[in-house]
């Protein structure tokens, strides 16, 4: 089934991207802001596109209804959502369990160098620790994938649908 193949492949690519973002880009977020979002959206678009296209061209002999195409995209989206939750948990618990503390220390150092008052530093660190906590990251990733994947599936299903033409006899 193309849904499982492209769901797992897209999940794997997103996980690699997530590791790159967390280890190299987030500490320098101000330099890469929009680039992170762009790549994070393009990866699922590509995975869902190729999944729907393969379903249409290989499984359905070059034809697919909007409903079938949308369903294919949604199945891929759900596979990606489940895998991203698992990957996020594994990253935070086993790959880089000290990530939030590292990010807090780096941010605190940067704010001290900029002579920001201690009260503002403490407030910023509280927000940062909350924003990058495991639970919040899982919820953000899950919502991002589910909402984004549904929108992407809808658009791509509309663009890739190819239904059998019925000849009219008049």
Per residue in 114-133, pLDDT tens?
Answer: 999 999 999 999 998 999 89
pTM: 0.84
| Greater pLDDT, 66 or 36 | 66
pLDDT tens digits along 31-50: 666 777 788 889 999 999 99
Contact assessment for residue 76 and residue 47, using Cβ atoms and an 8 Å cutoff: yes
The mean per-residue pLDDT over the stretch 102-110 comes to 86
**CA nearest to 149, candidates 84, 105, 58:** 84
Q: Which pair of structure tokens corresponds to residue 69?
A: 């195409």
pLDDT score of 22: 75
Alpha carbon distance 14, 77 (integer Å): 12
The residue behind tokens 């489940």 is 82
| Cα angle value 154/155/156 (rounded, 5°) | 95
Please write the tens of the pLDDT for every residue from 128-157.
899 989 999 999 989 999 999 999 999 999
- Taking only the tens place, the pLDDT of each residue in 7-30 is 999 999 998 988 888 777 665 555
- Percent of the chain whose predicted confidence (pLDDT) is above 70: 91
Label residue 166 by pLDDT band (50, 70, 90): low
Retrieve residue 3's tokens.
């849904």
């Amino acid at each position: 089934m193309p849904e499982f193949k492209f769901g797992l492949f897209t999940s794997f690519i997103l996980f690699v991207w997530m590791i790159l973002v967390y280890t190299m880009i987030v500490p320098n977020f101000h330099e890469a802001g929009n680039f992170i979002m762009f790549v994070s959206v393009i990866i699922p678009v590509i995975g869902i596109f190729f999944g729907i296209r393969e379903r249409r061209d290989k499984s359905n002999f070059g034809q697919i209804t909007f409903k079938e195409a949308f369903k294919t995209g949604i199945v891929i989206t759900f596979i990606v959502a489940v895998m991203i939750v698992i990957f996020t948990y594994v990253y935070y618990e086993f790959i880089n369990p000290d990530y939030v503390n590292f990010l807090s220390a780096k941010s605190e150092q940067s704010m001290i160098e900029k002579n920001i008052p201690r009260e503002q530093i403490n407030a910023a660190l509280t927000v940062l620790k909350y924003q990058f906590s495991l639970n919040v990251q899982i919820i953000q990733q899950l919502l991002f994938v589910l909402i984004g994947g549904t929108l992407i599936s809808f658009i791509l299903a509309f663009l890739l649908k190819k239904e059998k033409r019925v000849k009219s006899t008049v």
